[in-house]
Amino acid sequence: MISLISFLIVIGICVISHEGGHFLAARFRGVLVHEFSFGMGPELWHRKKGETQYSFRAFPIGGYVKLEGEDADDDSEPKEPGFDPSRSLANKKPWERMLIMGAGAFVNIALAWLLTAFYLAGHGAYDMSVPQLGNIMENTPAYTAGLKSGDIIKSIDGKPLERWVDIQKTLRSKDKTGDDFEIVISRDGREQKLSINIPFSEKANGRLLGVQPVYKKYPLIQALGASFSYSWSMSVTILKSLWLTVTGRIEADVTGPVGIAVMAGDAFTAGFWAFIGFLGIINLNLGLLNLLPFPALDGGRIVFVLIEMVTRRKVPEKVETIIHYGGFIVLIALIVLVTGKDIFRLFLSSL
């Protein structure tokens, strides 16, 4: 039950934010919005306010905003007397259509950025931007050598360090012979040189110094900056992993609605801040994936607008609609396949 409730909260926030982006951008550019729907399938409830119908549908796995002129079929529908053709999406300038199509993904990415900033300001995180030591673990080379919290590692074996990850990269260098390392630290503004023996650990498959980064809460302005940096880094990682998966260099590990529900339940159980962090990651993934140049996704629709801008000719609307319908069928098939895989995983874990 917790997983289901958590899933509905996550999907509700993600979908309403995404479709809300399309909705607001469409209204901003004067496009008529026929319907704002949460969920797919049979309608459970609706209410019309002004020109737009707001509805809830049976399957809470998505949503949509129905815009005038979005599909080729709209041209055959009867229009109300006095209807202004300029309110059709099809009659808007290419840049306006791109703005409306990309607004949903933009809102998801912006929400991920704000949620991460909220997490950094309210809960805090390890500072990976500098090689400054936080906790020193007992019975480790760092503890034995007398390293202290607050020390900044300036260099290892003459190699200067800039970020926390540089510590591990340098210690795991294949060019290193022997277990003794010359480490220069800065303590209270003064530099000290230490010789530390860091043996290779078979269990960890590497050398362990025995230190952790500084854990801190960020002031609001710094949190916004750190969140942008984190979101950018995470976006690059997501896209790289996707590319490696598509090219067959790593095995695909995709999670569907059932898997997301389980993870949402775990995050909810772990506490408020864990759930906020999870919600930020899901929104970032959703925003990026929707910008991929695949039919039926926002990115696929943007590609057709770019083709129009280059060739100065629109792709026939019926051709574009058929391509998007084909992409939609592929996406639904992938969701069904991944969902079956998630259910099989849950079945195995329960044995």
Q: Could you report the per-residue pLDDT of 86-142, keeping only the tens digit for each?
A: 899 988 999 999 999 999 999 999 999 999 999 999 999 998 888 999 999 999 999
The stretches of the chain forming alpha helices (DSSP H) are 2-28, 94-122, 141-145, 165-171, 220-246, 257-270, 272-290, 298-311, 317-350
Does residue 239 share a domain with residue 202?
no
Does residue 232 share a domain with residue 97?
yes
Does residue 184 share a domain with residue 239?
no
Closest CA to 308 of 317, 318, 321, 298: 317
User: Which of residues 193, 216, 239 is at a domain's end?
Assistant: 216
Rg of the chain over Cα atoms, rounded to whole angstroms, equals: 26
Does the reported pTM lie above 0.75?
yes
Is there a catalytic annotation at residue 19?
yes
What is the Cα–Cα distance from 299 to 105, expressed in whole angstroms? Answer: 9
User: Which of residues 192, 216, 240 is at a domain's end?
Assistant: 216
Is the Cβ–Cβ distance between 142 and 211 less than 8 Å? yes
What range defines the domain where residue 163 resides?
A: 133-216
User: Which of residues 216, 239, 267 is at a domain's end?
Assistant: 216
Report the pLDDT value the prediction gives residue 349, as an integer from 0 to 100: 58
pLDDT tens column, 72-87 = 555 545 566 667 888 9
| pLDDT mean over 205-221 | 90
Does residue 319 share a domain with residue 188?
no
The residue with greater pLDDT, 153 or 244, is 153
Is the Cβ–Cβ distance between 8 and 60 less than 8 Å? yes
pLDDT tens column, 261-289 = 778 888 888 899 999 999 999 999 999 99
**CATH code at 206?**
2.30.42.10
Does residue 80 share a domain with residue 14?
yes
Does residue 240 share a domain with residue 97?
yes
From the candidates 19, 70, 96, 320, which is the catalytic residue? 19
Does residue 308 share a domain with residue 229?
yes
Does residue 107 share a domain with residue 42?
yes
pLDDT tens column, 35-45 = 999 988 899 99
What is the Cα–Cα distance from 226 to 232, expressed in whole angstroms? Answer: 10
Kindly state the tokens that stand for 268. Answer: 């909810």
Please report which helix (H) or strand (E) contains residue 106, including its range.
Answer: helix 94-122
Q: State the total domains in the chain.
A: 2
Is the Cβ–Cβ distance between 163 and 109 less than 8 Å? no
Report the pLDDT value the prediction gives residue 149, as an integer from 0 to 100: 94
| pLDDT band at residue 187 using 50, 70 and 90 as cut-offs | very high
What is the Cα–Cα distance from 328 to 296, expressed in whole angstroms? Answer: 5
Does residue 142 share a domain with residue 63?
no
Report the pLDDT value the prediction gives residue 44, as an integer from 0 to 100: 92
Please name the amino acid found at residue 46: H
Is the Cβ–Cβ distance between 129 and 214 less than 8 Å? no
On the question of pLDDT at 348 being above 90, the answer is: no
Report the pLDDT value the prediction gives residue 256, as an integer from 0 to 100: 63
